[in-house]
Each structure stands twice: as C-alpha cells, then as structure tokens.
C-alpha cells in the first residue's frame, strides 16, 4: 500500500501515527469522559507540524493537499474519533480562506493556522438551517466600514476553542442566488459570544457550541474574498473538499474498531478455544475488513480528485462520505458485538468507537443528502449516454437493436 503514496505523504502519515499512539490513545478515554478540549494533544499536533499539512508553503504550511489531510485524520481517528475531527475541523474552517480569500486574508490568517498557534471553526448551520444550508437567518448588514452581524449559529465544532471563525450570513435577503456572504469573525470581536456547549453522545473531546452575534461589528476587510453574495458558493466548494476528511475520520474509526475486535477475538476464549476460531466470528471480521478497505480506497480516490480538481469532485466527495461513514457504523457496531457483553461496558474502548462513528453519518451533510447529491450527478451524466437508449424499449424508441436485427434478417431472408 505504501508504494501508492509519495514519500512526503508517508512522512506526515507516520508523524500522525506516532502522535496517535503516544499521545492520543492513552488520553482518549479521559477526554471522552470529562468532555474538555485536550490542549496537550493540540500542542503535540502543533509540535509535530501537522496543522500545516494542507496549507501551501507560501502561507506557512507544508504544501500538501486533501490526500495528506485524510491520511493524518485517518491515523488520529484510529485512536480517537474526537481527536480526528478536532484536527480536521481546522481544515474545514480554513478551506474558505484558501479557496476564496484575498491574498491579504490568506497572509493574515493561514500562517497562524498552519503553526497551530490559532484554531479556526466553520459557522454555517443554524437551528432552522441544517441540511438546508441556503435557509440561513443570521444577518450581516453593511454599516460604513463595517458589517454588523445579528443571529446565531448551531453545532459549531471547535467553537470556544477557536480564535477565528468562517461565518456565513445573509447580506442580501432580496437575492435568490447572491443572498449569502462569508465573513471572518475573530474571538473578542464586540457583540460576538460563545453560547451553550452541547453534551454529546460521541466526539466528546472537541467542543460543539452555539455562537451568538448581537450587533457584532466586523471590519469590511474581513468579507471573504472582498465580494458579497458569494458565500453559498464558497460553502459548497468548502464542503466538497472537507467531506473526504469526514470519510477519513470514519475509515479511521472503522479501522481502529476492527483492530481492537480482532485482537480481542484472538484473546477471548469460550468453549475451550479462542472465539477467533469460530466461523461466525471469522465471517464478521472478514466482512468488516472488506468494508474498511473499500472505504479507505474511496477516501483516497476522492482526496486525489480534490487535489486534481476533477469535474466529478462533488459526486466523488459525496460517495466517499456516504460509503465510509455507513461502513464505519456497521463495522463499529459489529465490533461491539464481537466483544459481547464487555463491548457494552465503558471499561473497554470499543463502545466509544461506535458512539464516535454515528455523527459521521450526520454532519457535513447527512447521508440522505449525500445520496441525493450522487443521484442528481448520475442523472446529469446520463445525458451523455443517449446511445444506450437503442438497447432498451422506451416510449420514444419502441424497438430495441435486437428487434432491428431480427427485422433486417427477415428482410434479407424472407420465408
């Protein structure tokens, strides 16, 4: 497998693996229990240089891409899904700046993100606008040299810990296509408050909070890209590039759960032998391993598509997110089953993997939405397959090619 990656990619993967084994895994249960931000793990990630993996070298990063990001997220998530998203959400928050920011905005923010000095979050979802990202209510009104923000954001991962926020708000409520803009908000801006922290089922090491804007004044030079009305486009471009990261989190969780289940099955004895000798257990492990490997390969393919900017990026990212997260839920659930009664107890690490996996099917676009995205892209692509209509009976083509061949044969050889 290593032969399929560049030496640089493997360097960052191996650094992430080392941090995951030495720092993350020993602390995963602790931070899951207390639900506090693990600053010591953030420091270890920064010391290893991992926060700069996806950021270009001219802005203080290492010049990698989405593939390198996914390799790091997978390794961290093998040890703890919460830490995987704690890391990946900084890419989610910084992608709008990378993709659409002005040169000055990139120089102002990206070096500190790359070094791990400052964390960033992504503020899109609201109470009434989850899957319907276009239905935002938060307003940003131009007032002289500033924008004044009013409203709230919901489910903001990394909120509270972050210093920088990519916020999406309505700047032109009369427009259908240019309604939303993206604005960079900083911790400490007047009128910006961190609200309620959620008590979550999983990914408990990373905070998820509400954000409140009450007459929050932000300088106009923080309008992303310097152009109003482009926010929805920027959000969709960001999610296309971030979804492989969620898929990588899911693949890492599934892989970690499979490893734990395999080791446990070999050590656990019933009826005088290891349960790994039972064919039903072997079948479960084999199916789990196949799903894990298929998910990983789709993650890598979609990440490479992101880095290459291929036209089918949206569909590929949706497929990776859809398949890998569904696989993670199946694999982690089966892993709990392999552990039996022990799998249901918090004394063992496996139940946490199942709790962490569930959110991957929901955030950054539910899997129901991903299926819609894939299907709609398939229908667009089908317009280029008109020649296939000749092989099937349709209202406009009642005769198939087989019928035409039979008619031609009968004409050539009349009875």
* Domains of the chain, CATH where assigned: 2-119 (1.10.540.10), 122-227 (2.40.110.10), 233-382 (1.20.140.10)
Question: Which two structure tokens, joined as six digits, stand for 339?
Answer: 């552990």
Tell me how crowded residue 112 is: count the other CB atoms within 10 A of its CB: 17
Name residues whose C-beta falls within 8 Å of residue 80's C-beta, 6 or more positions apart in sequence.
20, 24, 25, 27, 28, 31, 32, 205, 352, 356
Half-sphere exposure (Cβ direction) of 253: Cα atoms closer than 13 Å = 39
User: pTM here?
Assistant: 0.93
Q: Are 51 and 90 in contact (CB under 8 A)?
A: yes
- Determine the Cα angle at 239 with ends 233 and 244, to 5°: 150
- Using CA atoms, how far apart are residues 330 and 262, in angstroms rounded to an integer? 15
- Using CA atoms, how far apart are residues 301 and 91, in angstroms rounded to an integer? 19
The catalytic residue positions are 364
Give me the pLDDT at residue 408, please: 78
Question: Which two structure tokens, joined as six digits, stand for 342?
Answer: 């022990």
Name residues whose C-beta falls within 8 Å of residue 264's C-beta, 6 or more positions apart in sequence.
338, 339, 342, 350
Give me the pLDDT at residue 132, please: 85
- The number of residues making up the chain comes to 415
Name residues whose C-beta falls within 8 Å of residue 278's C-beta, 6 or more positions apart in sequence.
none
Question: Which two structure tokens, joined as six digits, stand for 187?
Answer: 């911790």
According to DSSP, the β-strands at 180-186 and 164-170 are antiparallel
- CA nearest 53: which of 103, 107, 100, 16? 16
Tens of pLDDT along the chain (415 residues)?
788 899 999 999 999 999 999 999 999 999 999 999 999 999 999 999 999 999 999 999 999 999 999 999 999 999 999 999 999 999 999 999 999 999 999 999 999 999 999 999 999 999 999 888 888 999 999 999 999 999 999 999 999 999 999 999 999 999 988 999 999 999 999 999 999 999 999 999 999 999 999 999 999 999 999 999 999 999 999 999 999 999 999 999 999 999 999 999 999 999 999 999 999 999 999 999 999 999 999 999 999 999 999 988 999 999 999 999 999 999 999 999 999 999 999 999 999 999 999 999 999 999 999 999 999 999 998 888 877 766 666 666 656 666 777 777 777 887 6
């Amino acid at each position: 497998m290593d032969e399929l990656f560049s030496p640089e990619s493997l360097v960052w993967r191996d650094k992430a693996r080392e941090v995951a084994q030495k720092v993350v895994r020993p602390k995963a249960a602790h931070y899951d229990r207390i639900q506090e931000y693990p600053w010591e793990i953030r420091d270890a990630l920064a010391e290893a240089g991992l926060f700069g993996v996806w950021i270009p070298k001219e802005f203080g990063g290492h010049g990698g891409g989405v593939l390198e990001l996914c390799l790091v997220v997978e390794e961290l998530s093998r040890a703890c899904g919460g830490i995987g998203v704690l890391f990946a959400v900084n890419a989610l928050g910084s992608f709008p700046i990378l993709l659409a920011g002005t040169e000055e905005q990139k120089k102002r923010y990206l070096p500190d993100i790359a070094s791990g000095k400052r964390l960033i979050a992504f503020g899109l979802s609201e109470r009434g606008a989850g899957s319907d990202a276009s239905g935002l209510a938060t307003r940003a009104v131009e007032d002289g040299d500033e924008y004044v923000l009013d409203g709230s954001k919901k489910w903001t991962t990394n909120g509270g810990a972050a210093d920088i926020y990519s916020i999406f708000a309505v700047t032109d409520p009369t427009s259908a296509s240019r309604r939303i803009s993206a604005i960079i908000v900083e911790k400490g801006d007047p009128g910006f408050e961190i609200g309620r922290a959620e008590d979550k089922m999983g990914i408990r090491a990373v905070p998820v909070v509400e954000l409140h804007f009450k007459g929050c004044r932000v300088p106009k030079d923080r309008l992303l890209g310097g152009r109003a009305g482009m926010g929805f486009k920027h959000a969709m471009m960001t999610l296309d590039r971030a979804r492989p990261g969620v898929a990588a989190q899911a693949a890492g969780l599934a892989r970690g759960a499979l490893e734990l289940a395999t080791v446990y099955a070999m050590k656990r004895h019933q009826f005088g032998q290891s349960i790994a000798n039972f064919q039903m257990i072997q079948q479960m492990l084999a199916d789990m391993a196949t799903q894990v490997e298929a998910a990983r390969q789709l993650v890598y393919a979609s990440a490479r598509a992101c880095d290459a900017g291929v036209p089918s990026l949206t569909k590929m990212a949706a497929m990776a997110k859809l398949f890998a997260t569904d696989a993670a839920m199946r694999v982690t659930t089966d892993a709990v089953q392999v552990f039996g009664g022990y799998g249901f107890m918090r004394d063992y690490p496996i139940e946490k993997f199942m709790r962490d996996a569930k959110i991957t099917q929901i955030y950054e676009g539910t899997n129901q939405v991903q299926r819609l995205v894939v299907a709609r892209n398939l229908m667009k692509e089908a317009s280029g397959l008109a020649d296939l209509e000749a092989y099937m009976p349709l209202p406009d083509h009642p005769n198939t090619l087989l019928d035409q061949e039979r008619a031609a044969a009968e004409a050539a050889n009349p009875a």
